[in-house]
Structure 1
Amino acid sequence: MPKKKKIGSYPNVMIVVSLTAALFLIGFCGMLVIQSKKLVSIIRQNIEVRIFLEKTLSDPGRDSVLQIVQQKAFVQTNGGTPAVTFVSKEEAAKEFMEGTKEDFTAFLGENPLRDSYQVKIQEDYFEEAKLKLIKADLETINGVYEVVYQEDLADSINRNITKLYIVLSSFALVMLIIIVLLINNTIKLAIYSQRFLIRSMQLVGATNGFIQQPFLLRGATQGLVGGIMAIILLVVLQQVAIRNIEGLSMLQEYDKLAFLLASLLLLGVAIGIVSTYQSLARYLKMALDDLY
């Protein structure tokens, strides 16, 4: 005896697989955005401005420069302490010789380098225009010979990260549109097999809401399952990457990741419900002759 067909019952493996794939790719793009933002934040927090001092500057003069620099609003603080580090010309010469493997003092007869301060700048000032203003401001201090920083670094990073966000956002949007269209067509084909059952229920007086309920429940379940599977895949991928890529753990922001995964779950349920509702509405309004 053939199995009795129930309202809202149709194969859902293909729909769940499609949803899982789409939500996984969207979530992967989101993870890349979160980690790239964290990487940029780390770079910004470690950008330094080098203040070279006059060679004739005395110790009291050097301390005076330090006090002025520490009071600047753009100086980064660690636990309330300004991130300003003194580097003597002897330390600078040692670092230079370790890097080049050459003793330049041997043929120069003296150390031409200068005492300096390394100043870490707050993240909000990570723009080329602001860094130029910082340079001009610091060079007005008595005893300061020159202020240097990596020019064009800020603008280069900001431009590249903006391009990355645009590419990832565009890819995620295209994937969302494609998967909605794909799932709409898949659900339409699935509901097509139940079009006569839907019409029979209408003929005995069933309301549209009563007919839609099992279909929408199934769509929500499909979206939920697809979202859960996508989340599992993303978490597994993340843990494998953390274990195999050194330093990747520093880029993890678990509060933002939790929000992203929760959003994927809600997005999956929303896609399942909306796609089912749109596909079902066609058959609820279709004339009897059009069903054949």
Structure 2
Amino acid sequence: MDKFFYLLSEGYRSLWRAKLSTFSSITTIGVTLSFVGFGAMATSNLARLANESRSDYTMEVFFTQLTTDSEAQKIMNEIISMDRVREGILITKQEAAEIFQKEFGENIYDLLDDNPLPTSCVIKLEESGLEPTEMEPVAKAIEAMDRVEKVSYPAEAITLIENYFQGMLSVVALISMAILMGTTVLVSNTIRLTIFSRKDLIRILKLVGATDRFVKIPFIVEGIIVGISGGVLASILTYLFIRTANSFLMLFTPYQLIWDWRVIILLVLVVALFSILGSRKAVNKLLT
């Protein structure tokens, strides 16, 4: 245990001795990773917004002209009992005429002798929302029912929104991976500089019988400290960005970005992992 704490303290002292390069590395990692944090937070909030939008997806079912309101109610109850359907709202012919007058300012009975508007119902899907590909089978099952004339839902608009969302996820993922790889290289180079600056001490330690593990661990500890410190700095910058963005959004919309601690914890853990990889790469290359 004493040896373990000694190795930890050696890693910390080494960083303190090279304060300028350590500060430079942590700052560079922190600022760079803050873009990953921004992207991760934006993606998290976009996913929340997409799920909320999916829960608002509706289908409008139009019944044949000869369908009575009571028959339509019965069919709607059958639809509500289907999987993935949450609730339904019946719109009678009379209610459809009232909606027409409200929307267009004209009484349909003044324009025509009879009301040609069909009885319909608005179907709300389950609260967790459905993907466009999941909506199509539901629509087809409803269309196959007796006395159903047509099922309408904005398939193209929904698909377009989903494609944009998936495209943004892919872009954020690629940029994040590139930045994390850059973090690995930066940590690796920082450790290399430290090793070169202490090569005489390393040679002496090996001459007196120090094991490779005893020599390598302090440098790996340095890499982890640099990486995690950069991750913490990135978290702080991300938090400040979220607060600033929310202050700006308040002027235009009630929508606010949500600070998700799980994303930040995951970011710091991933950075720690990449820091270990970067420091091990440098140590194994220069001390073997």
The amino acid of 1:248's aligned partner reads: Y
Measured against aligned partners, the alpha-carbon deviations of 1:89-124 in whole angstroms (never above 9, x if no partner) come to: 444444445445x42634446543233210012356
Measured against aligned partners, the alpha-carbon deviations of 1:219-266 in whole angstroms (never above 9, x if no partner) come to: 2222222121111222222233234323433x64x6xx3222112222
**2:45 and 2:14 mapped to 1: Cα distance?**
45
The amino acid of 2:227's aligned partner reads: G
Which residue in 2 is equivalent to 1:19?
29
Measured against aligned partners, the alpha-carbon deviations of 1:58-81 in whole angstroms (never above 9, x if no partner) come to: 3432321222122111312xxxxx
Matched, 1:267 2:274: no
Cα 1:126/1:263, change in 2 over 3 Å: closer
Helix, strand or coil at the partner of 2:149: strand
Matched, 1:126 2:134: no
Residue number among 112, 116, 119 corresponding to 1:112 in the alignment: 116
Which residue in 2 is equivalent to 1:79?
none
Matched, 1:43 2:43: no
Cα 1:18/1:68, change in 2 over 3 Å: same
**1:188 and 1:62 mapped to 2: Cα distance?**
76
Measured against aligned partners, the alpha-carbon deviations of 1:160-216 in whole angstroms (never above 9, x if no partner) come to: 222222211111111111222233223322332222222222223333333333333
Same amino acid, percent of matched pairs: 22
Matched, 1:176 2:150: no
Matched, 1:10 2:14: no
Helix, strand or coil at the partner of 1:152: helix
**2:152 and 2:285 mapped to 1: Cα distance?**
68
Matched, 1:163 2:167: yes
Helix, strand or coil at the partner of 2:36: helix
Task: Tell me the TM-score normalized by structure 2.
Answer: 0.80
Which residue in 1 is equivalent to 2:75?
65
Whose helix proportion is higher, 1 or 2? 2
Judge conservation of contact 2:191–2:222 (CA < 8 Å) in 1: no
Match runs of 1:1-292 below 5 Å: 7=14, 9-11=17-19, 12-76=22-86, 83-100=87-104, 102-103=105-106, 105=108, 106-108=110-112, 111-122=115-126, 125-128=130-133, 130-245=134-249, 246-249=253-256, 252=258, 257-285=260-288
Judge conservation of contact 2:62–2:148 (CA < 8 Å) in 1: yes
Q: What is the Cα-based RMSD across aligned positions, in Å?
A: 2.7
Helix, strand or coil at the partner of 1:225: helix
Helix, strand or coil at the partner of 2:90: strand
Which residue in 2 is equivalent to 1:80?
none
Task: Tell me the TM-score normalized by structure 1.
Answer: 0.79
**1:153 and 1:185 mapped to 2: Cα distance?**
48
**2:243 and 2:95 mapped to 1: Cα distance?**
41
Cα 1:204/1:54, change in 2 over 3 Å: same
**2:75 and 2:247 mapped to 1: Cα distance?**
45
Cα 1:272/1:73, change in 2 over 3 Å: closer
Cα 1:61/1:88, change in 2 over 3 Å: closer
- Shift in Å at residue 45 of structure 1? 1.1
Runs of 5+ unmatched residues, structure 2: 1-12
Cα 1:137/1:266, change in 2 over 3 Å: closer
Judge conservation of contact 1:199–1:284 (CA < 8 Å) in 2: no
Cα 1:117/1:193, change in 2 over 3 Å: same
